[in-house]
Structure 1
Amino acid sequence: MQETWQGTLKQEITNYYVSSPQAWVDVNISTSGLLNLTIVSDHFADLSIPQRKEQVLSFLHQLKVPLSPGFLSLYAPQEAESLNLSRPQVVNGSLVYTWQDLALQAANPQNYPQPAQREPRVPRTVTFYSFKGGVGRTTALTHVAWILAMRGRKVVAVDLDLEAPGLSTAFNLNPQPEYGIVDYFYERSYLPEGVEPSISVAKIFGEVRMPNATGRLFVVPAGYLNLDYVSKVDDLRAITVVDSGESLWSVFTREIKEQLQPDIILVDSRTGINQWGALSLLQAADEVIIFLFPNEQNRQGIELLLQSIQALKNISINFVFTPVPDVTETGMSKVRKIWNNLHKNIKNARDINDETNEDETSDSDSDLDESQPELAEPLVVPYLSPIALADSYPVPALVDYYTRIANLIDEETDELKRKSILTGAEHRWEIIESLEFPEVNAADPKQELSLLFQRTTDFERFLDDMNCLIRGRKGTGKTALYWLLLKHKSVAQKLAHGRLDNTVCFSGHGRFHDSRPSRDEFKTIQKELQREEGSWEAFWRAYLLLRLFKEKYFKFPRGKKGAKFNELKAIFRDLPGDRWKYEYTQSLIHLSSDSSLRLIVKDAIDLIDEQAKSKSETLWFLYDDLDEDFPEVGEVRHQALTGLFQLIQACEARRTVAIRFKIFLREDIWTRLNFDNKSHFNGRDILLQWTRIDFLRLALRQAIQSNDFKNLVDRFSPVESIDQASEETIDRALELLWGSRRRRGQKAKYVSRWVYERLTDSSGTTFPRSLSLLLKGSKEQELTYRGQTSIQSPTDRLLRGKSLEIGLKKASEERCNAIKEEYPDLRRFFDHLKGVSALPTREELQTVWQESAQNVLSPFDEFADWLNEIGLAEWRDNEQRYKIADIYVYGFEMIRIGTV
């Protein structure tokens, strides 16, 4: 519970004056700011009334009470007993019906228990309120209701602007229902005991016909405008309690739920401070959306409202500025100023809970995590003349202006639905245990790759025969594509939708064949080619021919046509077994160095191309592990790769159109590779990038390997096809796994964005393996909370924010180890990053470089460019600092807190 100065004052007075069971204190502060005290104490037994007052006033002066004294009622216990005075009862803070109730509660929090978090209510009620009229509140409600119904929600819109109704007119509701909510309330207010009402809830709503909507929209109008209506409104009281002990609003919500089972109730509230506005805000609302014009009059009115409703700490409050006539930077600066001031006045229980609940926060909540909040700008609807001139709503062309408001409501509604689905503690742990998050390992023939492989947006371009270079950082999925085509051809064909049906794939080089040259053998090949004046281009051509011969795809022709290939046949025929041996290496060197044999190998390749064309086949040669099998020292890697690209150019020059190449190469290696006509490959390359939708699809694909989790998704937000579903649909399904936002409150970052950004380096490269590790680590951490009754489990997600952060640390550690293996010469630099700020200045990073990497790569500017190239750091002009990518910050144990 958060302590207040009023509570402290009451405690100080109690501590001083209450020394026996008969003594007690009542502290009440009037709405005008006067301190009214009733004190029953043994201290007053022998004192006169003036002496008592003098003593109390002196005590209050010592306490430096910032209020003027009002009524001071001071008694000895015997006096209080003779007057039948009794100590005050605990006030039920939930029975707030009027503005006066609220004002008294706001002024006297010491007399009210800390309001409990309101239990999730279905349907969720959202009140649209404005202090002044003419700000487009009703217009916004109609458009938001329309959007929600189009998204599949069942919405009930209620007109509680009883003194100026117009919701049914705005919707052009036809036919109108027989009665309105005024008739419904009035009958129940004056119905004799034991008599059933004749106006049922089914008679007071009509439906807005929406042919293309997957949801439904119902409207409860205020009623028909006639003299009877005027009389009823004047006689009605919003605080009326019926014989059952329920308020009018409670009766209505209970019966509308029984009749329609809506997802959301939208309330169009009366403006200003009046009884129906009080009902709309204090009794009805789970969430309040306050509409205001950006001027001083509206600001002051809303601040007064916030002073009152701040006591209701379980209501979510958002602001919409409308209609804003000036949306230029000048006009928006005024809006932002008012918006920021209003947010400072909100004391929302959700935010308070977040500050004290260890389960929902983490040690990085104070660092960079929330530096870019989702709701970083106020919600604004500009002045729109088509809206102002419209006879009915919504105006379809302008619906998008209200989408952000609908998103806020949708998010809260989804949270309620998730909570209802995830109810049941033991079942929750069983589901978490069932989660596996298997990494995609295309090299494993036992893995069900058709269920796990994510077809990214790059995959379509990859299928293009002309694209021969597949670039990417280590861990971005190059090797997965290599194995997919070689070991899982049927899966690849299904993913390609027929584009691979006439394609035959071979491993030009890579781990698909155990029999291949090793790194040491490539060093030998380099020396021998230099000594024998051979070329790497010729080597790769001979190696390609050898692969086809070993795969038994190609046989040399017989008779005269095949006579010139006799020496080649003899060389291949005499090679020993399947394992790579000395004879293989020497044969390739010989084929690459002998001028006559080099020409014959070319002819053999041409013949293979012709045979493939005659069968309408395309041959793909895949090259992987080129970074690992070719050492960088001694120019081996540079010359070998240059020769491979020269082979591609030579084949295309000879028009061998059936033979195509797919070279999987690490991005930084390609960047530093220089050879003649390198620009020939511009536009024929693919830089593998995981977009956010690709990433989220992979996360969902892994999660639904658990049937238990898939069943949850099917109940909450079914996904027919992961590859065809929108990002919004995928995101919604994943909210069952990790929730919507990192923390409570509209300024918190969305979890899906947080995960994607944390696993993306400075070059925009995201690592799918890191996702699996993060989720595995999160699951393991979450299970450690099982059985700990002192730690409350989240009710709207399976994995809490703290668990995700622990998982991120494990993913980061693996990524840091990977980059150390990629660049072993800079291991000392990586180790020196420990304890360094995640946002180092140029001087700080240069100092680390001087201590650990100056002898490896210099000058410093070139080194800094290289860090940016490999995605580890980027320069930020605004801060005049480098930003180390989060995927490395945790693993290198860098300092995150206090960097912004």
Structure 2
Amino acid sequence: MNYSEIKDKIEQNMSAAHVKIEDLRIQQDQYMGWRIVVISSDFAGKAQSERQKIVLDGLESLTIQWLDLLTPQEQKWAGSLPLDAPLDLPLWPEALARRSHPETVMFASDLEDDLERPIIATFYSLRGGVGRSTALAYTARILANHGRTVLCVDMDLEAPGLAALFGKENEIQPEQGLIFSLLSLDQGEHPDLQNQIIRISETEELYCLPAGLPNANYARLLNFIDPEAWYREDRNPLRDLIKILSTELSFKPDVILLDARTGITPLNGPLLFDLADLAIIVFFPHPQTQIGTGALVQALLASRNRRTDPKLTPDPRFIVSPVPASQAPEVIERYHHRSLDWINNWLKSLSDQRLGLEPIMESEITHFIPYRETIATSDKILETPEYWRDFEPVAEWIEGLLPMASEQPLPVNLSQYKAKILQDLEFSASSAEYQSNLLETFVETDLVERAMQPNIPLVLGRKGTGKTAIFRRLLEDDQQHSIVILAPNPLKNNRLWVFTAESSKVIDQQLKKYQKSWREFWLIQMCLACYLSWEGEKPQPNEDLGDLLSTPLNTELDLSNWIESFLQKPKCGILMKDWLMRFDRAASDRTFLLIDGLDTGFGSGKPEQALRTKSIADLLSLINDLEHDLTHFKFKVMLREDIWRRLQFENKSHFFGRSVTLQWSESVDFFKVIVKTALQANTFKTLVQSIQGQQGQGRFLFHGDDSNLTEQQVRNIWNVLVGERMRGGKSAFTRNWVWKRIADGSNNHSPRALLQLFKQGQEWEMRENEKKFYGKTVIRPKALIASLEEVSKQTLDALINEEFPDLTNLVDQLRKIGRSPFKASEVENLKDELNLAMEVGLLSIYEGTNDEVERYKVPDLYLSGIGMTRKGQA
């Protein structure tokens, strides 16, 4: 019979005997049979045998390990009674025996709202010697240094020593410590835990509850610690302890760090499966630990901790320690990859229980701590912050669950303004040539400023890194003279001399017909651009060319005819160069000759690519020769860096030191793109200024001028827009999450992808805001998580369809593979495509070297766009 059947039968028996039930408890015994308690005033005057006959009628075959049939008066002396439940105990036998996860596995880090403090983090290791207590102590030090109130509890009762790590073991009194507190609670007493705690630092809020002094009395008392009984009975000293530590001390802990005993012991089961918000598992990736730690992780994922609203599963985190010091990078890499592969495999069963939540990224919940002799041989933790840095990511995991000063409720009622702000925000996800407010949102980094200098003729970069933004910045600057030689199609406007992909084929045919090179064409193109866009009196060409300018130029066909007429002239190249020099001399100021759109101006097929390569090589060779003769004209060529790498022409090295490759290496500059874009919405700017007014000057103060925002201002305004922490994700900070997720395989970042992410996030937030208002920020961080898949699709589509159609076969193969990382042998038939994919950031090496790749990895930016998952997430 099961729990429900037994309960129904007892209730029927009692009703038939007209005996009222005041309390009924049924609990399955750990090993065999049942524990049953019935409380009834009607038992008064009845012998035990008579009570049994009433209650157990029809249940004679049941194996009963514990039977109490009591009146309320008898209950008072009966002691703790079993709990009434078909128990799901947080003990090792039950936890390891669970075969399935809860229907939905939700972690503390998935929540948009703060958890009630304190956050409890349990540090555990299956085997010893991996630095578990050391990691806890340094983490506590860092958190306290960050202004958090931290209480460390030494739960390693069999081998106490946490106080010694803090240098405080000599302060422990004979009857001071956790073991005395637990046994006092077990006896129904209410101990003064304040007197059991040692203050670690006089300047920071760091405290320790030691286990006790390991003497003869301590060893005797250790025999009375019985967590199994605590979780089966009314009185639970362990939960009572946490309640007192959380609410009844003179200080309120932000964090309680529990140092759990190594191995499988009765006490550390509840510390992991019941009390932990974060379960920090410390291990070294030796095969001896793989199966046992994997079983522990499965038990964690099948558990529910003490939190009930909502129901949460202990959030797993992993410390791999100590990673041996080695001069060989491949040795360190082997330990890293083995650990991440294990963790990925342990978590792979979660996919069905995480629908609608961000997939777990094993690298973000794992931290590697190298072996450092100074730390390993020290008697206690070192006070110098230099030695803390290895443990800072662990502290960040915990801080990710704590309220932060930047996340305090806004001093304005956002509900009045949010819908209008969302409507007014305009994150243009299109390329720079289509953006209407590009100059207002233009971010001038040190690299961009250098790229705009007149002595830099060549600006390189991946698509979307800002080449066309620089083109437009120079073109639309009222203080700067510029002439467009070639522009992307959307910027062609009435510039009839800007040729298209169709014209480029005709031009090539004309060049072959008249035995001319693309060098002559570019001279013609430059002269026509100057002639047709010149303001004021136009310098005229040599008389040999003058007659050709009399025919009208109204169509693309007219342009083709003009070019052909020039090509037919003897000494065409010399005549055109002479005309260009006349324009140069006539220019009163420095004038940029702007060339952009070279990647799209020739078409995308292989013959068109070959044509493009030949044309650009001749252009750059020509520029090399012309620059020394020009006085006022300065060239500015925008070119994709992969095209540049493939070019071969004489004196290519002359561009060394005279070119700039656009990269966004500073995240604050990158995020300034979003901040400046958001500030274009007057409603958002008003919100920022109103916050500034209510919180005092300095926080956001920029006098209405967003051109020189400081790093702190960028972060503060970013936090109003989307928040500081990545609620609903595993990264502690939104900035870190965005920076990692939209990087390609070469760690390059594109402002276009950033704007696409916020555009999608804005639209998602507008829909969700109608269902459920979120008042902490304008866009909730979860909106970015929900938007990444669509951004991935858009970015992949642009990469394949606009830039590199040659990668189509590789992408099709990756879709079949379905997960990343993957073995190099799975794509070994696509060598050329692999080289290109590495070059453009579609792939990176996960394991191995450039000469001998073992495994490749697809970056998050392209992962869901391809339709792949991380390895193990089916």
Fold conserved (TM > 0.5)? yes
8 Å Cα contact 1:299-1:338 kept in structure 2:
no
Query: How far 1:870 sits from its partner (Å)?
Result: 6.8
1:536 matched residue in structure 2: 518
Structure 2: 5+ residue runs without aligned partners?
39-48, 109-113, 186-191, 306-311
Contact map agreement 2:482 2:593 (CA 8 A) in 1: yes
State how far apart, in whole Å, the 2-side matches of 1:304 and 1:524 are: 70
The match for 1:644 among 619, 625, 638 is: 619
Is the 1:153–1:264 contact (alpha carbons within 8 Å) kept by the matching residues of 2?
no
Deviation at 1:546, TM superposition (A): 4.4
Q: After superposition, give the CA deviation of every residue in 1:174-199 in whole Å (9 maximum; x if it has no partner).
A: xx99xx9989x99xx99xxxxxx9x9
Q: Which residue matches 1:61?
A: none
Which SS does the other structure have where 1:508 is aligned?
strand
Is 1:663 equivalent to 2:637 in the alignment?
yes
Partner of 2:116: 121
- Contact 1:130–1:292 under 8 Å retained in 2: yes
Give 1:56's aligned residue: 61
The match for 2:357 is 360
Aligned length: 787
State the one-letter code of the partner of 1:36.
W
Q: How far apart, in 2, do the equivalents of 1:842 and 1:541 lie?
A: 47
Cα distance 1:523–1:440, how it changes in 2: closer, same or farther (>3 A)?
A: closer
CA 1:269–1:424 in 2, change beyond 3 Å: closer, same or farther? farther
TM-score scaled by length of structure 1:
0.61
Residue-by-residue CA offset, 1:564-611 (whole Å, 9 max, x unaligned): 96738967996869x678776666655565456754553554566678
Within the candidate set 142, 145, 170, 1:147 is matched to 142
CA distance 1:420–1:773, change in 2 (3 Å): same
CA pair 886-252 structure 1, distance change in 2 beyond 3 A: closer
Mapping 1:379-394, distance limit 5 Å: 379-380=368-369, 382=371, 384-385=373-374, 388-389=377-378, 393-394=382-383
Aligned to 1:624: 596
* 2:773 is equivalent to residue 780 of structure 1: no
For residue 505 of structure 1, the aligned residue among 471, 477, 482 is: 482
Shift of 1:515: 2.1
**Residues 775/732 of structure 1: CA separation in 2 closer, same or farther (3 Å cut):** closer
Alignment of 1:130-209 (within 5 A): 139-148=134-143, 152-157=146-151
One-letter identity of the residue aligned with 2:522: W
Distance 1:461 1:373, change over 3 A: farther
- Structure 1: distance between partners of 2:65 and 2:253: 50
CA contact (8 A) 1:127 1:269 kept: yes
* Cα offset, 1:648, TM superposition: 0.8
Query: Separation in 2 of the partners of 1:478 and 1:204?
Result: 60
| Structure-2 residue corresponding to 1:403 | 392
* 1:128 and 1:141 in contact (8 A); partners too: yes
Deviations along 1:285-311, one digit per CA (max 9) or x if unpaired, are: 644556689999999999999989966
Candidates 776, 786, 797, aligned match of 1:816: 797
Is the 2:130–2:284 contact (alpha carbons within 8 Å) kept by the matching residues of 1?
yes
Task: Kindly state the Cα deviation for residue 644 of structure 1 after the two structures are TM-superposed.
Answer: 1.8
Q: How does 1:27-426 map to 2 (within 5 A)?
A: 27-30=26-29, 33-38=31-36, 56=61, 69-71=63-65, 91=83, 120-126=115-121, 139-148=134-143, 152-157=146-151, 217-219=205-207, 250=243, 253-254=246-247, 264=255, 286-287=277-278, 289=280, 312=305, 315-316=314-315, 318=317, 320=319, 355-356=352-353, 358-360=355-357, 365=359, 373-375=362-364, 379-380=368-369, 382=371, 384-385=373-374, 388-389=377-378, 393-413=382-402
- 1:9 maps to 2
Q: Deviations over 1:784-805 (max 9, x none)?
A: 456669xx99999955769845
| Pairwise CA distance, 1:218 | 4.7
Task: Give the alignment of 1:577-588 within 5 angstroms.
Answer: none
Corresponding residue SS for 2:621: helix
Q: 2:467 matched to which residue of 1? A: 478
Alpha-carbon distance between aligned partners in 2 of 1:457 and 1:788, rounded to the nearest angstrom: 44
1:776 Cα deviation after fit: 3.1
2:111 alignment counterpart: none
Structure 2 counterpart of 1:756, from 737, 742, 753: 742
> In the alignment, residue 602 of structure 1 is paired with which amino acid?
K
| Rounded Cα–Cα distance in structure 1 between residues aligned with 2:730 and 2:374 | 37
How far does residue 276 in structure 1 lie from its aligned partner after superposition?
11
CA distance in 2 between partners of 1:456 and 1:400 (Å): 29
Please give the alpha-carbon distance, in whole angstroms, between the structure 1 residues aligned to 2:340 and 2:486: 61
Deviation at 1:719, TM superposition (A): 8.7
Deviation at 1:552, TM superposition (A): 4.4
Is the 1:181–1:204 Cα contact (8 Å) retained in structure 2?
no
Amino acid at match of 2:494: D
Q: Matched residues in 2 for 1:461 and 1:527: separation?
A: 38
Aligned equivalent of 1:3: none
The 3 A distance-change label for structure 1 pair 170 and 584 is same
Note the C-alpha offset of 1:623. 0.8
8 Å CA contact retained: 1:147, 1:406: yes
Contact 2:432 2:438 in 1 (8 A): no
Q: For residues 181 and 82 of structure 1, what CA distance do their matches in structure 2 show?
A: 36
For residues 640 and 448 of structure 1, do their structure 2 counterparts lie closer, same or farther at Cα, with a shift above 3 Å needed? closer
Evaluate the alpha carbon distance shift between residue 867 and residue 699 of structure 1 in structure 2; reply closer, same or farther with a 3 A threshold.
Answer: same
Distance in 2 between residues matched to 1:297 and 1:637, nearest whole Å:
57
Conservation of the 8 A alpha-carbon contact between 2:130 and 2:283: yes
Percent sequence identity over matched residues?
21
Cα deviations across residues 244-265 of structure 1 (Å, max 9, x unaligned)?
Answer: xx96765664476x86x77545
TM-score, normalised to structure 2's length? 0.63
Change (3 A) 1:167 1:702: farther
Whole-angstrom CA distance in 1 between matches of 2:336 and 2:515: 75
Please report how far the alpha carbon of residue 409 of structure 1 lies from its aligned counterpart in structure 2 after TM superposition: 1.7
* Structure 1 contact 131–298 (Cα < 8 Å) conserved: no
Contact 1:320/1:378 (8 A) holds in 2: yes
Tell me, yes or no, if the aligned pair for 1:155 and 1:264 is still in contact at 8 Å: yes
- Residues 383-416 of structure 1 deviation map (CA, whole Å, 9 limit, x = unaligned): 6345534676324442222223222222222689
Partner of 1:412, secondary structure, is: coil
C-alpha distance 555-376 of structure 1, shift in aligned 2 (>3 A): same
> 1:374 Cα deviation (Å)?
1.6
Whole-Å separation in 2 of the counterparts to 1:130 and 1:828? 46
- Mark the CA change 1:636 to 1:842 in structure 2 (over 3 Å): closer, same or farther: same
Contact 2:742 / 2:753 at 8 angstroms: preserved in 1?
Answer: no
Q: What residue is the counterpart of 2:451 in the other structure? A: 462
Mapped partners of 1:462, 1:134: distance in 2: 53
The superposition leaves residues 470-514 of structure 1 with CA deviations (integer Å, 9 ceiling, x where unpaired) of 445544433222112212467xxxxxxxxxxxx743322223552
Question: Any conservation in 1 of the 2:317–2:366 contact (CA below 8 Å)?
Answer: no
Aligned CA RMSD, in angstroms, stands at 7.4
Q: How far did 1:140 drift?
A: 3.9
